[in-house]
Structure formats: C-alpha cells, structure tokens
Amino acid sequence: MKGCSILADAGRRRFLTGAGLATAGAAVATVLPAEAKTPPSAALVRYPATRLANVKDLKVNDPMDVAYPDADAPGVLLKLGTRVPGGAGPDGDIVGFTTVCPHKGFPLSYKTADKTLNCPGHYSRFDCEKGGQQIWGQATQNLPQYVLRVDAKGDIHAEGVDELIYGRLSNVL
C-alpha cells in the first residue's frame, strides 16, 4: 500500500506542474463551445385554432372525447364545475387535455370521483383541477393541457398545448 501512496503523490505533483496544467487547459479549450454567432430561435409554435365544441354541449363532470391538434391526437374536454387554472368559459371551469399518457402512450381514462385522468399502463394519475399535474406514477411530465378560448357564441376553440404530446418529436406539428 505504501508503494501505491507514493505513486499517487507523484501523479498529483505531476498534474500540478506545467505539463499537467497544459494538458488540462487544452482539454478545457476543446470542450468549451464557440460563441454563438446567431441568436437562438424562439421555440414558439403556432398551433391550429380548432373548434372543439360549444359550452352547451358540456355537462359538469361528464368528459367529451375530442382530438387536438390533429385527428391522431386524442383528448378530452371537461367542465369541472369549479373555477380552475387554465379554465375557460364563463365559469372558468372548462379544460382540455391530451388523453395519451406522457410516460409510454397508453390511453388515459377519466375518473369522475376525483376528477383525474388515469393510466392503465403503469398507473400514472393526473389532476384535471390542477392543470394536469401528475399526482402519482411513472410519467416524467404533467399532462399536456389545451389552451382554450370561448367566443361570444360559446364555441370552444383549442389554440395550443402547454407540453409536448407523447410520441411527438417536438411541438412542431
């Protein structure tokens, strides 16, 4: 063991000499990125504005199946009966979410008793009254929530999604 300590000490001393510092400096110079010449582009994506339903079509705590931003993206509209974050409409209680689990893409089902969307795959649960916040399970993000607008006629339009939908490589549609 004494031999090992001597070798380690010699190694440390060599690293702190000019040769060691030069090697470390060269490594740092290679790792540091060059200064960006163009500013990064904004990650803002324009989603299509799509009419999903009318407020008269919704009943409290009765989910309505929809699709957004395209036909391959199943989702749900909900009138929760209490004002919530991201809630649209005259009562601020209409929300919409993707129903594809952000973990591995299983289809979610709505549980009226606690207003959650639940995954049969690995049991992740998402709170619809808290913006799709994950409350249990394997997923690593909250449930993507629709950005909704209700017009003067009561039509409900989806105009965006606040998280990446499972299976998409980016928010670019």
Catalogue the active-site residues.
Answer: 103, 122
| Shortest Å distance, C-beta 98 to ligand FES | 12
**In the complex with ligand FES, which residue's Cβ is closer, 100 or 148?**
100
Of 81 and 167, which CB lies nearer to ligand FES in the complex structure?
Answer: 167
Q: How far is the CB of 14 from ligand FES (least distance, A)?
A: 51
Nearer to ligand FES (CB atom), residue 75 or residue 160:
75
DSSP 8-state class, residue 56: G
Of 75, 76, 103, the C-alpha closest to 166 is 103
Look at residues 117, 169, 123 and name the one whose alpha carbon lies nearest to residue 145.
Answer: 117
Mark 97-136 with x for binding to ligand FES (rule: CB under 6 A) and - for no binding. Answer: ----x-xx-x------------x-xx-x------------
Q: Which amino acid is at 57?
A: D
Of 53-92, which residues contact ligand FES (CB under 6 A)? none
**Count of residues touching ligand FES (by CB under 6 A):** 11
Residue ranges of alpha helices (H) inside 58-130 are none
Question: Which of 139, 148, 161, 165 is the binder for ligand FES (CB under 6 A)?
Answer: 139
- Cα-trace Rg, the chain: 26
How far is it, in rounded angstroms, from Cα 139 to Cα 129?
Answer: 18
Which spans in 17-88 are helix H? 18-31
Distance between CA atoms of residues 74 and 97, nearest Å: 9
CB-CB contact of 64 with 81 (8 Å): no
Least Å distance, CB 119 to ligand FES, is 3
Closer residue to ligand FES, CB minimum distance, 76 or 156? 76
Sites of contact with ligand FES (CB under 6 A): 101, 103-104, 106, 119, 121-122, 124, 137-139
